[in-house]
Chains A and B, each alone.
Chain A
Amino acid sequence: MIAHSIFFYTFSIIAIVSAIMVTASKNTVHSVFFLILDFISISCLFIMIGAEFLGMIMLIVYVGAVAVLFLFVVMMLNVAQQKNQWFSSEASSKHIPVGLIISTLIFVELIIVVGGWKYKPDLFDINNSLELAKVSNTHSLGQVLYTDYIHVFQISGMILLVAMIGAIVLTFRKRVGVKIQSYIKQISRERSDGVSVLKVESNKGVKIDD
């Protein structure tokens, strides 16, 4: 158990410190790297409590894809200057109440969840935990997700699809005058489309573009 708690405290300290550093560091790119460190240590914590599927999915989705896009945006847009403007100008006072309200909401939700877990433990009991203990994590997740919660699962997928299409529609602009390669056009081009053999009389030349 000692080794277990050593690992637990190491990962949780790294997670907390890097979460603080996300907001505290001046360089925006450093913030994103600290966010990635935070994701990784949290997925390590997931693996430690036996939720290995969740931990790996966390690594693949958040660290492997979402954080890469974060880094892209931060590196390309030069957010560092804008961030400093926000904090120095009077506009920052507008953001503080919004942030406060959101963080209070999250805090209250956490208190409700932890309180419910403490005082009404039977609500959080998985009713067939003994049955599930035999199969692996991934199997049990799949059995619940694709049977009881299939509609919720499908709806969340549809919402993500709509969001994606919306983002594409909003940013799409058709550019005029761009040559686009078309394989079918290239392959189906015949010799007669490009070349024609003419008999040219001497001293007359050929008329092009008649």
Chain B
Amino acid sequence: MEYLGILFDQVYKILFLLVPVLVSVAMVVWLDRRVWAFVQKRQGPNVVGPFGLLQTIADALKYIFKEIIIPSSSNKVIFILAPIVTMTLALIAWAVIPFSATQVLADINVGVLYLFAVSSLGVYGIIMGGWASNSKYPFLGAIRSAAQMVSYEVSIGVIIINVLLCVGSLNLNDIVLAQQNLWFVIPLFPMFVIFFISALAETNRPPFDLPEAEAELVAGYQTEYSGMMYAMFWLGEYANILLMCAMGAILFLGGWLSPLEIYPFTLVPGPVWLVLKILLLFLLFALVKAIVPRYRYDQLMKLGWKVFLPLSLIWVVLTASYLFYFNLLPVN
């Protein structure tokens, strides 16, 4: 009975986290399309519900009732597993995101490493989908995507080392609390910019959406997918984007801390600040999608390995030596 109580408690907590995440994924898809439309002087989805807010839910309903077509020459088990893997990995990472000092599902010692591990596993959904489809374009898209994600993870890892040098702990709540006086976006501003661009590449967002470049590869690894399975890829992708935004907000923008520790700001609870910061970063993601044209593949690889990796490594040396000479290294 005791275990059953713990189980129900945990399930309740998980649902309380995941349902808002899923709803906000739906809202964020709408926001993305709306921003994209406004940049191009269009209206965007504005028919279903107030301001078109329910558009994504209508789309999801449509996908549910469509037939799922599984190509006869595909590898069926892996073909079906791929969208499930993508969606699951996009959702389990939210377990360690702290919404305030106490509101976190799993306050583990190695929170940053967990986030990094889960985001590096995300490539499997794409490779599995591309290979199992047994078709040229999905396979090419999957290969492109895997190479791209592996290269940009390296620079994200080095950027995380920069932040960790200033904090001295891998716990996400410690990272947030270390920014009480100064958000890391100010001393580590170049790293924040590189993190943002790497996050775009990591989540296959434009201008780095080469895995699904429609002019060359139809729809990349999603070409053979239909119905609910396509929708799961699509929702998983947006959940991943929100996750990268949350990671940026926690590592650089002070997580759930309020921008100023004075009266009217302290009234607002922590989760609201975190959500606002995630939304701000997502707005940047959406604007970049609308404004910047797509990269060429060799330029993308050059940017990752020859520009971002050396820059972030140099910045690690700079940060470490600055902290060392001014005796600011966090020792506990």
Contact = CB atoms under 8 A, between A and B. Distances in A.
Partners in one complex: yes
B113 A53 contact: yes
A60 B110 contact: no
B146 A72 contact: yes
A60 B124 contact: no
A75 B140 CA distance: 11
Interface string B129-140: 001000000010
Contacts of B117: 56, 59-60, 63-64
Contacts of A139: 332
A136 B169 CA distance: 9
Contacts of B299: 181
A136 B109 contact: yes
Contacts of A65: 120, 150, 153
B170 A64 contact: no
B127 A68 contact: yes
Interface string B275-302: 0000000000000000000000011000
A33 B75 CA distance: 13
A29 B130 CA distance: 13
A36 interface: yes
A56 B78 CA distance: 25
Interface residues of A, number: 26
Nearest to B116: A60
Contact of A60 (B120, B139, B146, B298): B120
Given A68-B146, A138-B170, A36 B124 contact: yes
The size bracket of the interface on B is 20 to 34
A44 to B, nearest CB: 12
B146 A33 contact: no
Nearest to A139: B332
A57 B3 CA distance: 30
B332 to A, nearest CB: 8
A98 interface: no
Contacts of A36: 124
B108 A64 contact: no
A45 to B, nearest CB: 15
Given A65-B120, A68-B124, 15 more contacts: A33-B128, A52-B108, A52-B110, A56-B113, A57-B113, A60-B117, A60-B120, A63-B120, A64-B120, A68-B127, A68-B146, A68-B150, A69-B150, A72-B143, A137-B109
Interface of B: 3, 75, 78, 108-110, 113-114, 116-117, 120-121, 123-124, 127-128, 131, 139, 143, 146, 150, 153, 157, 169-170, 298-299, 332
